[in-house]
Structure 1
Amino acid sequence: MTNSIKLSAGNTFPLIEAQLLDGSYIQLGKAQGDATWQMVVVYRGKHCPLCTRYLNLLEEHKAALAEIGVSIVAVSGDSKAQLQEHSEQLTVSYPIAFGLTEEQMKTLCLYISQPRSEQETDHNFSEPGMFIVNEQGTLQAVDISNAPLLRPELDVVVRGLTFVRSQDNYPIRGTVAY
């Protein structure tokens, strides 16, 4: 049986730090550089070709997101060695963290899967999630999936965020009930 509680738009994003390949740590949900918002992309891991494609496609939207004040961070439950190996297939310049624990995955209310075999990966992993965190540390938007084929279309996300960021006090949607 699984827990049906999910993070809700309008709630405070949980404080989670994740490690980068250079040994430093990044706080998920805290904007980087000149940005005031952060997009947190949780991906399954190096074993997932759809994740590799999505992360590389996200790089193509990095400049447009930066223009509207949104920084990017990606994270998975992979080990440092797995991320180092995966980096050879990635063409990204935004930070990617590793080592998201199962407890942290649960804190983010992500779906968690078991590997189909040891050849796939050696640990349980989260399914995709995208969290848009505003300058107050509040979830402006959230998308959690139970399968790698269900992910937000990045062109739509960037256009939508561009619209939201251009408005004065655009409300957080979906706060009445879910």
Structure 2
Amino acid sequence: MTALPAGSTFPKNDVSALGGGTLTLGAPRGDHDWQLIVVYRGLHCPICKSYLARLQELEPTFNDLGVDVVAVSADPEEKAQAFADEKELKLAIGYGLSVAQMNSLGLYVSDPRSPQETDRPFAEPGVFVVNAEGDIQILDVSNAPFVRPDLQSLANGIKFVRGNDYPIRGTHSG
């Protein structure tokens, strides 16, 4: 795993979307010029279910800030659909994130602890806010399911950044 630096160009990745078609991670959809990408662990993760339910509640807030919202996991289509159905999610959800794509995003990748957990390697949580220039404005990558940014705080932060021309932080190289 190689961490992506803040301020670097986000590596666009195409994934299949629930409902058909493709989602391009790093390319905002619709009238939005920024994108929030939430990488979740998959159907086996109860914390992910609560987190994405909260993300759906706040999606209009992000959209009002000009931010497109997408979620993605390594789950195959049937598991991603079961996840969405269980939580009645209407978010744009991508599935089938490959290990190579996980690595390109600088995500931690875990192997299942048992067949009951899941049947393939999966990404640990990651949150990326990609600005209008395609650069990583904000990121949070975790190696465990328990550490994720508070979504309301993230929305408040994006509002501040956008309203105050606040620079990308954490870019000191010397």
Give TM class, smaller chain.
over 0.9
Aligned to 1:38: 35
Aligned to 2:92: 95
* Displacement after TM superposition at 1:60 (Å): 1.1
Please give the residue correspondences for 1:122-161 in structure 2 after superposition, counting only pairs within 5 Å.
122-161=119-158
* Displacement after TM superposition at 1:165 (Å): 1.0
Q: Percent identity?
A: 45
Equivalenced residues, count: 174
Please give the residue correspondences for 1:1-178 in structure 2 after superposition, counting only pairs within 5 Å.
3=1, 5-168=2-165, 170-177=166-173
CA distances 1:51-80 after superposition (whole Å, capped 9, x unpaired): 011000011111111111011000000001
Check the 8 A contact 1:77/1:126 in 2, yes or no: yes
Q: Partner amino acid for 1:140?
A: Q
Check the 8 A contact 2:112/2:120 in 1, yes or no: yes
* Displacement after TM superposition at 1:23 (Å): 2.4
* Displacement after TM superposition at 1:100 (Å): 0.1
Q: Aligned partners of 1:156 and 1:28: how far apart in 2?
A: 22
Give SS of 1:89's match: helix
Q: Partner amino acid for 1:11?
A: S
Q: Partner amino acid for 2:7?
A: G
Which has the larger helix fraction? 2
Q: Partner amino acid for 2:64?
A: E
Flag structure 1 segments of 5+ consecutive residues without an equivalent.
none
Check the 8 A contact 1:36/1:69 in 2, yes or no: yes
Q: Partner amino acid for 1:26?
A: L
Q: Partner amino acid for 1:95?
A: A
Q: What is the TM-score with the length of structure 2 in the denominator?
A: 0.96
Flag structure 2 segments of 5+ consecutive residues without an equivalent.
none
RMSD: 1.2
Q: Partner amino acid for 1:148?
A: P
Q: Aligned partners of 1:46 and 1:16: how far apart in 2?
A: 21
Q: Aligned partners of 1:28 and 1:17: how far apart in 2?
A: 6
CA distances 1:117-170 after superposition (whole Å, capped 9, x unpaired): 0011000101000000011110001100000100001111111111111113x2
Q: What is the TM-score with the length of structure 1 in the denominator?
A: 0.94
* Displacement after TM superposition at 1:22 (Å): 2.2
* Displacement after TM superposition at 1:21 (Å): 2.0
